[in-house]
A = this chain, B = another copy of it.
Amino acid sequence: MTPAPFTSALTAPLLGDPEAADILSDARFIAQMIAVEGAFARACGTVGLIMPEVAQEICARLDGRMLEPQDLGAGMASAGVPVPALVARLRAEMGRAGDGLHWGATSQDIVDCAHVLQWRDLLALLEGRLARLLDALRARSDAQAQTLMAGRTRSQSATPITLGLRIATWAQPLIALEAEVPHLRAQVLRVQYGGASGAASATGAQSEALGAALAQHLGLSPAPCWHLDRTGPQALGAWLVRLTAALGKLARDLILSGRSEIGEIRAGKGGGSSTMPQKSNPVGAEAILTLAHYAACLHPLLAQAAMPLEERDGAAWALEWLALPQMGIAAAACLRQAAQLIDSLQPDSERMRAQLNAGNGAIMAEAASFALARHMARDTASAHVKDALATARVKGLTLAQALAQNPSLGGLEDWDICLSPQNAAAPSEAMRLRIWALRKGA
């Protein structure tokens, strides 16, 4: 469809996300590299590797300086990284002060630091959206706390639950992800400084102080060089894949619940068809599902990137560039679409009730079985329930009626009360509240 699904004006409105695409854009990447070079020069000044006035002049020259992607494309093609061209270009503009630029740094220091700054912004964006989505899910879940519906397991009616519980289960993996953000930040937001072979030998005894100063200027944690330790990118990727998968589950449920035959929940402004006037396609949910599979598929690239050869490996490293921005935008787009779906959620409690009563009330078979098991062996109980289900189907009765009409079973319980789906409301509510209690401070 397009070689650039997340930036194409054709497909980005469906599959992309303008805010995340901006954070992860070429322009922002270049701006962050320039900011890193500035911070690096300032740090060199701080630790005495370059003269303070040189550092100041570099910072002044770089302040607000911007280069266009096309300015660096040829350099990227010839060096495999944009930094030599970037440094050459910037240095050329600043006379002798330029000698203090990029003093003892290597390309990967600059690129990884710039990426970390982008990821920081991405995490802030996603964390905010995640919190808002969880708030919205909480409100929906609370509102539907008493709405009974058929729980389905393995695509079959199982036992009743509440819609409030269903919505809470959508939130459950998201709550875990939200709680992990501080840990993830600690893994990801680390300064990268190692120099040519990761030993920072060009800056010698000052290197640790230099890295610390750089970290401080960039607002990152100090860290030993992680050229070869791709914990951060992998941790970020794993978190993003879990996020998109969690939203993918929500999307799959909504596609199913909104089907013509089920119609229990509608969400999203249904998409029109080019030929069928009646269609209301689950466009937003489909997009989430597509993106969730896409993000999962890119995931192995990050493990491959974590197997670089020797001190640095151009082929392995670049795999991150082909995976993380895509996964990040996919996650943002999924959150965007999910927010719209939850905002527009329209439960149809009548359809839910109808479905609960469908199948002659067979959804209460487990409950019937446990009720009978108080009076007889469980196998016998289960066999009675199967018989009663068959009777109910043949005679057009409910399961409760079939049991009540059975001379040997009818008096054991008040079957209407015993097999009321309403009985599932309290346990569903208890479980629902336990799930939401996982959300700290909420």
* Pair B78/A269 contact, Cβ less than 8 Å: yes
A331-372 CB mask vs B (1 if < 8 Å, else 0) is 000000000000000000000000100110011011111100
What is the CB-to-nearest-CB distance from A220 to chain B, in angstroms, rounded to a whole number? 16
Q: Identify A154's interface contact among B159, B198, B286, B325, CB under 8 A.
A: B286
A307 to B4 CA separation, bound complex (whole angstroms): 24
* Pair A107/B207 contact, Cβ less than 8 Å: no
* Pair A303/B311 contact, Cβ less than 8 Å: no
* Pair B303/A161 contact, Cβ less than 8 Å: no
Interface footprint category on A: 35 or more
5 smallest CB-CB distances across A and B, nearest first, come from A151-B197, A1-B321, A296-B303, A13-B77, A4-B4
Tell me the nearest residue of chain B to A2, going by C-beta: B26
* Pair A274/B106 contact, Cβ less than 8 Å: yes
A276-B196 in contact given A1-B321, A261-B358, A431-B224 (Cβ < 8 Å): yes
A219-245 CB mask vs B (1 if < 8 Å, else 0) is 000001111111100110010011011
Please tell me if A271 contacts chain B, counting CB pairs below 8 Å: yes
A156-B279 in contact given A10-B73, A73-B10, A293-B304 (Cβ < 8 Å): yes
Please tell me if A255 contacts chain B, counting CB pairs below 8 Å: yes
Measured between beta carbons, the chain B residues less than 8 angstroms from A308 are: 249
A355 to B259 CA separation, bound complex (whole angstroms): 12
Cβ < 8 Å to B, chain A residues 75-129: 76-84, 87, 91, 96, 98-99, 102, 104-107, 110-111, 115
Measured between beta carbons, the chain B residues less than 8 angstroms from A10 are: 26, 29-30, 69-70, 72-73, 76, 82
Tell me the nearest residue of chain B to A115, going by C-beta: B1
Known: A10-B73, A99-B378, A183-B183. 16 other contacts (CB 8 A): A3-B6, A5-B321, A78-B283, A96-B377, A154-B313, A156-B279, A157-B260, A198-B431, A199-B431, A208-B430, A234-B245, A248-B303, A249-B306, A255-B315, A260-B358, A299-B299
* Pair B79/A272 contact, Cβ less than 8 Å: yes
A26-B7 in contact given A195-B275, A300-B300 (Cβ < 8 Å): no
Q: Identify A156's interface contact among B5, B280, B329, CB under 8 A.
A: B280
Cβ < 8 Å to B, chain A residues 25-40: 25-26, 29-30
Measured between beta carbons, the chain B residues less than 8 angstroms from A106 are: 153, 273-275
Q: Identify A159's interface contact among B166, B196, B245, B367, CB under 8 A.
A: B196
* Pair A9/B68 contact, Cβ less than 8 Å: yes
* Pair A3/B21 contact, Cβ less than 8 Å: yes
* Segment at the B interface, from A132-140, A401-409, A411-419, A421-429: A421-429
What is the CB-to-nearest-CB distance from A84 to chain B, in angstroms, rounded to a whole number? 5
What is the CB-to-nearest-CB distance from A91 to chain B, in angstroms, rounded to a whole number? 7
Tell me the nearest residue of chain B to A81, going by C-beta: B274
Measured between beta carbons, the chain B residues less than 8 angstroms from A318 are: 1, 15, 286-287, 290
Q: Identify A297's interface contact among B249, B271, B297, B313, CB under 8 A.
A: B297
Tell me the nearest residue of chain B to A13, going by C-beta: B77
Please tell me if A202 contacts chain B, counting CB pairs below 8 Å: yes
Please tell me if A385 contacts chain B, counting CB pairs below 8 Å: yes
* Pair B11/A24 contact, Cβ less than 8 Å: no
Please tell me if A246 contacts chain B, counting CB pairs below 8 Å: yes
* Pair A107/B273 contact, Cβ less than 8 Å: yes
Please tell me if A309 contacts chain B, counting CB pairs below 8 Å: yes
Please tell me if A143 contacts chain B, counting CB pairs below 8 Å: no
* Pair A156/B315 contact, Cβ less than 8 Å: no
Tell me the nearest residue of chain B to A301, going by C-beta: B297
